[in-house]
């Protein structure tokens, strides 16, 4: 019986924690949406205003009024905010001011493409980081170890558009293995995913190198060695498990980085994912699309952080959550 | 009938000089079939007819729709197209068009007199309910009466509108089926819903990725002067936007693309050496020019404005930054445009004369940096770098350097694409900005820039009565000779008063692979796919 009480206590406090974190997450999303909405009002220029002020196609005032009325841009900022919120509640994200396409379609198009790209890049990033870190810590030659240790710094400082263009030059223009412009299914994702992995793996690799280096010096390694466990098993079975814990927390951040990195990578590879949708909408100040992208990306980001935080204690039983005071890891929403 | 022949003779020579080039054509009949991969530098966004604004959108509209009147890019002459003939009443209030027989839209509906009348009224009035604005080039209050039995459309205007026939040749005057006009605005903006009668039909559209055009079966109503009177030679055109210059170029060089729009001038020579063709053209309309605002600091003095006009060494700029595809501006209008007159003598590069003008204006002192001053104030002119032209930055910097040598401090500022109009045009400190793009009619173009009823870019609010009078009078000048005379005087006046600094005759530059034949540009420097073919 006492055991049952203890466990139900823990469940209750856990539930309170989850509810609080979900509440915080919703608040962050709402704040980001509101701030971006009003920031866009302060910034000069939008597609409709540009249409009206362009000396190429000047419109008589009567036509301009009709156009503003059509887009409800004649309302006050607060009234427009209310209209936008009302639609949002009904799941209506509106239409792009530039292309006239439903924002939902644009997001669906962008997300379906970028999710595959980001997932592939995520796998590559993890693989790349593991390879780099294991080499940097366990390689038998000192020169190879220091070479591997310098890779993260190199990849952080290599601009994506350059890496992407180099890959295109070699594999598309020279070897002709994959098209630079046409969608050839999964094959077309490889080069952009590699570019993206190179762009975002740096911090993860570094944390992993540090974690492994530290874990390797822990006393338990000596104990294992004394027990006669082989070096390979020590490295892959024990040091890696212990040293990788800080890196796991970083995975949440990596997801954000992947979406941000997609903006550049998708332009270089002429892909039309979420990065492209973001780039185009910001360039044209296409308010409905920008707002929807912000909503989507901040939700994703907050969600990933929430999941990471909730999973964290389960991955490493030594970590105990202090439910009362709480680690206030308020996630920063990425506004693309 | 139209009395545009005199004008045509004058413009023919100019156009021949301005280089409406065609890709080298091989011998024998063009090969039938094949897919042309066309790589654009930008993303076509909205197919809505009245809003036609960007190069990449116009290129598609041009090939998917037909127009009532055709302007021959080589001769500058107006020729029949969907209208097989037309008559203009002497008072300029009534236009009677006879519509070509047997023309149909790609959805099977007839392009008859009724459809033409509906298109014209729709262009003139817009559709307020759908948020569709009127076409800014069309006369307002237009009424059109159709008689399908005699295939005639009688258009009645409330006041004479001389630019009308020119406007009907425009990329934004494409005729569309009822299905397009009846569709909600958001659908009209999609290319698959642009139902025209042109030599190509939009088969599919993936936003930002590709737009596939297929040839219209049974197309038989090309302008009579076109070398291809039947269906297009190409079976398909795949339009793919590739935003990165280097990737677009690499794809062409690797043989995966057939035509690209826009290359950096510095790349042209290498491409020609490698067997590619450069096809460039200047569209009819206004030249690349700066409008000088006399309300800005120091520019109220006409001597300073005159000095600015004379301090730009255009030849050096074209030689060092550009190629043979570009040329120095010779007027406010581009060569080949109706009514164009070479007024380049008024703004030739004359640094000594400019220095004398600045001395006369009182800017005789020099500060520590070598800039001219008057009463302790440095002669500074502020501008923003044009965001619409990929070569603008180097162009502006070169001019900044040239002005610096004369002691004028040109302040360059940069804005991004979305904030440019709203910020740059509202900034009272701004001395000048770049304007000047192709326009179907020069009078309408000049009015939209410089009339008090247009954008009034000079900020004169009609205070220059002569300019206003010249601009206003063109609308009613249905007699071509009269309008040409007015246009000549307007060009002269804008330059003489130091209102405008013509800079370059802009070009649209395309590069085609060796296997592409017959690729040519329209009067508006847009690609024409119906005459294009592939040799392999």
Query: Is pLDDT above 60 for B289?
Result: yes
Query: Is pLDDT above 60 for A325?
Result: no
Q: Do A267 and B243 touch (CB under 8 A)?
A: yes
Residue A55: its chain B contacts at CB < 8 A? 435, 448-449, 454-455, 457
pLDDT band at A58 (very low <50, low <70, confident <90, very high): low
**Average pLDDT score over residue span B286-291:** 96
Share of chain B above pLDDT 70, in %: 95
Q: Do A173 and B128 touch (CB under 8 A)?
A: no
Would you state the pLDDT for residue B5? 42
Query: Is pLDDT above 50 for A174?
Result: yes
The 3-state secondary structure of A17-43 reads HHHHHHHHHHHHHHHHHHHHHHHHHHC
Taking phi over 0 as left and psi of -120 to 50 as alpha, with beta for the rest, B342 belongs to beta
Residue B437 near residue B289 (C-beta atoms within 8 A):
no
Task: Give the position of tokens 């890779």.
Answer: A151
CB atoms within 10 A of CB B412: 13
Residue B125: its chain A contacts at CB < 8 A? none
Q: Do A268 and B130 touch (CB under 8 A)?
A: no
Interface-testing mutation among B44, B208, B288, B449, with chain A (most A C-beta atoms within 10 A): B208
Q: Give the contacts of A157 (CB within 8 A, at least 6 positions apart).
A: none
Would you state the pLDDT for residue B138? 94
Shortest CA gap B453–chain A (Å): 9
Question: What are the tens digits of pLDDT across the range A178-215?
Answer: 998 888 888 999 999 999 999 898 888 988 888 888 88
Residue A50: its chain B contacts at CB < 8 A? 418, 420-422
A147 vs B80, higher pLDDT:
B80
Would you state the pLDDT for residue B7? 39
Q: Do A49 and B140 touch (CB under 8 A)?
A: no
Question: What are the tens digits of pLDDT across the range B307-348?
Answer: 999 999 999 999 999 998 999 999 999 999 999 999 999 999
**Average pLDDT score over residue span B201-219:** 95
Q: Do A109 and B207 touch (CB under 8 A)?
A: yes
pLDDT band at B14 (very low <50, low <70, confident <90, very high): very low
pLDDT band at B6 (very low <50, low <70, confident <90, very high): very low
Nearest CA in chain A to B252: A173
Question: What are the tens digits of pLDDT across the range B132-168?
Answer: 889 989 999 999 999 999 999 999 999 999 999 999 9
Q: Do B254 and A283 touch (CB under 8 A)?
A: no
> What backbone phi and psi angles, to 5 degrees, belong to B368?
-60, -30
Would you state the pLDDT for residue A156? 82
Share of chain A above pLDDT 90, in %: 23
Interface-testing mutation among A55, A92, A166, with chain B (most B C-beta atoms within 10 A): A55
Would you state the pLDDT for residue B178? 97
Shortest CA gap A266–chain B (Å): 10
Distances (CA, A) of B381 to A59, A251, B251, B292: 30, 52, 42, 10
Q: Strand B94-99's sheet: what is its strand order? A: B83-88, B94-99, B152-156, B143-147
Q: Do B128 and A66 touch (CB under 8 A)?
A: yes
Residue A293 near residue A335 (C-beta atoms within 8 A):
no
Of A51, A67, A176, the CB nearest to B254: A176
Q: Do A67 and B133 touch (CB under 8 A)?
A: yes
Distances (CA, A) of B526 to B41, B80, B339, B370, B438: 14, 19, 21, 45, 10
Class of domain A103-305: mainly alpha
Tokens read off for B414 = 């940069």
Shortest CA gap B455–chain A (Å): 6
**Average pLDDT score over residue span B247-259:** 95
Q: Do B209 and A272 touch (CB under 8 A)?
A: yes
Nearest CA in chain B to A67: B131
Query: Can you say how many angstroms the Cα of residue B48 is from the centroid of all Cα atoms in its chain?
Result: 18
Residue B256: its chain A contacts at CB < 8 A? 172, 179-182
Question: What are the tens digits of pLDDT across the range B372-385?
Answer: 999 999 999 999 99
Nearest CA in chain A to B41: A270
Q: Do B257 and A181 touch (CB under 8 A)?
A: yes
Residue A43: its chain B contacts at CB < 8 A? 418-419
pLDDT band at A98 (very low <50, low <70, confident <90, very high): confident
Shortest CA gap B421–chain A (Å): 6
ipTM: 0.80
Residue A45: its chain B contacts at CB < 8 A? 418-423
Question: What are the tens digits of pLDDT across the range B432-481?
Answer: 999 999 999 999 999 999 999 888 999 999 999 999 999 999 999 999 99
B117 vs A58, higher pLDDT:
B117
Of B128, B247, B422, the CB nearest to A50: B422
Would you state the pLDDT for residue B4? 40
Q: Do B422 and A272 touch (CB under 8 A)?
A: no
Of A53, A98, A106, the CB nearest to B422: A53
Q: Strand B432-435's sheet: what is its strand order? A: B327-328, B500-505, B288-292, B432-435
pLDDT band at B18 (very low <50, low <70, confident <90, very high): very low
Q: Give the contacts of B260 (CB within 8 A, at least 6 positions apart).
A: B38, B39, B40, B41, B242, B248, B249, B251, B252, B510, B511
CB atoms within 10 A of CB B437: 21
Tokens read off for B439 = 């326009």
pLDDT band at B3 (very low <50, low <70, confident <90, very high): very low
* Averaged pLDDT score across all residues of chain B: 92
Query: Is pLDDT above 90 for B365?
Result: yes
Would you state the pLDDT for residue B429? 94
Share of chain B above pLDDT 90, in %: 86
Residue A46: its chain B contacts at CB < 8 A? 418, 422
Question: Most confidently modeled of A238-247, B455-464, B480-489?
Answer: B480-489
Interface-testing mutation among A44, A56, A269, with chain B (most B C-beta atoms within 10 A): A56
Q: Do A58 and B209 touch (CB under 8 A)?
A: no
pLDDT band at A67 (very low <50, low <70, confident <90, very high): confident
Q: Do A100 and B188 touch (CB under 8 A)?
A: yes
Of A59, A183, A272, the CB nearest to B207: A272
Query: Is pLDDT above 50 for B220?
Result: yes
Question: CA B378, B379, B385, B386: dihedral to nearest 10 degrees?
Answer: 160
pLDDT band at B8 (very low <50, low <70, confident <90, very high): very low
The 3-state secondary structure of B432-477 reads EEEECCECCCHHHHHHHHHCCCCCCCCCCCCCCHHHHHHHHHHHHC
Question: What are the tens digits of pLDDT across the range B371-428?
Answer: 999 999 999 999 999 988 889 999 999 999 999 999 999 999 999 887 888 888 889 9
Nearest CA in chain B to A107: B207
**Average pLDDT score over residue span B226-235:** 96
Residue B413: its chain A contacts at CB < 8 A? none
Interface-testing mutation among B44, B130, B251, B458, with chain A (most A C-beta atoms within 10 A): B251
Show contacts of B189-192: CB within 8 Å, 24+ apart.
B189/A99, B189/A100, B189/A101, B189/B45, B189/B46, B189/B47, B189/B48, B190/A100, B190/A101, B190/B47, B191/B44, B191/B47, B191/B60, B191/B64
Query: In chain A, what are the domain boundaries?
Result: 103-305
Nearest CA in chain B to A109: B207
**Average pLDDT score over residue span A124-128:** 92
Q: Do B422 and A106 touch (CB under 8 A)?
A: no
Query: Is pLDDT above 80 for A328?
Result: no
Would you state the pLDDT for residue A8? 65
Query: Is pLDDT above 90 for B2?
Result: no
Distances (CA, A) of A311 to A158, A249, A327: 33, 9, 14
Nearest CA in chain B to A50: B421
Would you state the pLDDT for residue B446? 96
Of B45, B189, B455, the CB nearest to A55: B455
Of B126, B242, B250, the CB nearest to A169: B250
Of A53, A98, A276, the CB nearest to B421: A53
Residue B256 near residue A179 (C-beta atoms within 8 A):
yes
Residue B423: its chain A contacts at CB < 8 A? 44-45
């Amino acid at each position: 019986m006492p055991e049952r009480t203890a466990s139900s206590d823990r469940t209750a406090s856990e539930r309170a924690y989850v509810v609080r974190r979900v509440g915080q997450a919703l608040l962050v999303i709402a704040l980001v949406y509101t701030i971006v909405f009003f920031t866009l009002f302060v910034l000069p220029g939008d597609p409709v205003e540009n249409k009206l002020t362009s000396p190429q196609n000047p419109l008589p005032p009567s036509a301009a009024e009709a156009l503003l009325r059509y887009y409800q841009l004649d309302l006050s900022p607060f009234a427009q905010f209310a209209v936008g919120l009302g639609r949002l509640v009904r799941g209506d994200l509106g239409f792009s001011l530039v292309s006239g396409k439903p924002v939902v379609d644009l997001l669906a198009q962008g997300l379906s493409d970028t999710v595959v790209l980001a997932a592939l890049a995520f796998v590559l990033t993890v693989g790349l980081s593991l390879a780099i870190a294991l080499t940097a810590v366990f390689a038998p030659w000192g020169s190879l170890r220091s070479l591997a240790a310098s890779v993260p710094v190199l990849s952080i400082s290599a601009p994506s558009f350059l890496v992407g263009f180099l890959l295109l030059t070699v594999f598309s223009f020279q070897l002709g293995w994959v098209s630079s412009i046409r969608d050839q299914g999964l094959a077309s994702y490889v080069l952009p995913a590699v570019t993206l992995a190179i762009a975002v793996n740096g911090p993860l690799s570094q944390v992993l190198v540090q974690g492994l280096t530290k874990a390797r010096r822990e006393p338990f390694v000596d104990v294992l060695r004394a027990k006669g466990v082989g070096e390979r098993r020590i490295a892959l079975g024990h040091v890696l498990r212990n040293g990788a814990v800080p890196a796991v927390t970083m995975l949440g951040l990596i997801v954000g980085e992947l979406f941000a990195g997609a903006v550049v990578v998708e332009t270089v590879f002429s892909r039309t994912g979420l990065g492209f949708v973001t780039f185009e909408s910001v360039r044209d100040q296409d308010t409905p699309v920008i707002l929807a992208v912000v909503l989507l990306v901040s939700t994703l980001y907050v969600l990933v952080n929430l999941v990471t935080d909730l999973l964290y204690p389960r991955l490493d039983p030594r970590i105990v959550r202090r439910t009362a005071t709480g680690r206030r890891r308020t996630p920063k929403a990425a506004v693309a | 009938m139209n009395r545009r022949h005199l004008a045509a003779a004058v413009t023919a020579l100019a156009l021949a000089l301005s280089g409406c080039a065609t890709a080298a054509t091989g011998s024998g009949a063009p090969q039938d079939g094949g897919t042309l991969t066309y790589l654009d530098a930008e993303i076509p966004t909205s197919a809505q007819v009245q809003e036609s604004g960007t190069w990449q959108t116009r290129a598609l509209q041009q090939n998917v729709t037909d127009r009532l009147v055709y302007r021959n890019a080589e001769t500058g002459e107006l020729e029949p197209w969907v209208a097989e003939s037309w008559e203009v009443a002497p008072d300029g209030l009534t236009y009677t068009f006879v519509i070509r027989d047997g023309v149909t839209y790609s959805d099977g509906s007839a392009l008859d007199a009724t459809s033409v009348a509906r298109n014209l009224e729709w262009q003139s009035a817009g559709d307020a309910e759908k948020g569709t604005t009127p076409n800014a080039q069309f006369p307002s209050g237009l009424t059109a009466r159709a008689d399908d039995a005699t295939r005639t459309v009688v258009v009645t205007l409330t006041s004479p509108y001389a630019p009308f026939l020119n406007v009907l040749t425009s990329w934004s005057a494409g005729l569309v089926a009822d299905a397009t006009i009846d569709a909600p605005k958001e659908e009209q903006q999609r290319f698959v819903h642009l139902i025209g009668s042109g030599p190509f039909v939009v088969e599919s559209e993936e936003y930002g990725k590709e737009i596939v055009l297929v040839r219209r079966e049974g197309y038989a109503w090309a302008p009579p002067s076109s070398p291809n009177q039947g269906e297009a030679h190409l079976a398909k055109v795949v339009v793919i936007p590739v935003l990165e210059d280097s990737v677009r170029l690499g794809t062409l060089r690797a043989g995966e693309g057939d035509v690209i729009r826009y290359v950096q001038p510095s790349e042209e020579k290498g491409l020609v050496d490698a067997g590619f063709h450069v096809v460039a053209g200047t569209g009819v309309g206004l030249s690349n020019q700066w409008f000088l605002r006399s309300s800005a600091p120091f520019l109220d003095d006409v001597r300073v404005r005159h000095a600015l006009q004379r301090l730009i060494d255009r030849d050096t700029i074209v030689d060092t930054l550009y190629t043979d595809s570009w040329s120095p501006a010779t007027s406010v209008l581009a060569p080949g445009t109706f009514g164009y007159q070479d007024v380049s003598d008024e703004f030739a590069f004359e640094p000594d004369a400019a220095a004398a003008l600045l001395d006369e204006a009182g800017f005789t002192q020099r500060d520590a940096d070598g800039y001219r001053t008057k009463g302790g104030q440095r002669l500074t002119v502020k501008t923003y770098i044009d965001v619409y032209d990929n070569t603008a930055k180097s162009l502006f910097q070169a001019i900044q350097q040239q002005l610096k040598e004369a002691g004028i401090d040109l302040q360059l500022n940069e804005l991004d694409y979305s904030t440019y109009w709203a910020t740059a045009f509202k900034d009272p400190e701004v001395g000048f900005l770049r304007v000047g793009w192709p326009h179907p009619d020069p009078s309408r173009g000049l009015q939209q820039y410089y009339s008090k009823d247009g954008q009034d870019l000079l900020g004169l609010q009609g205070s220059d009565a002569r300019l206003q009078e010249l601009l206003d009078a063109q609308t009613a000048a249905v007699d071509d000779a009269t309008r040409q005379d007015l246009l000549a005087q307007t060009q002269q006046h804008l330059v003489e008063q130091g209102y405008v600094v013509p800079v370059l005759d802009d070009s649209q530059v395309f590069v085609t692979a060796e296997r592409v034949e017959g690729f040519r540009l329209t009067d508006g420097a847009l690609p024409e796919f119906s005459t294009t073919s592939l040799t392999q």
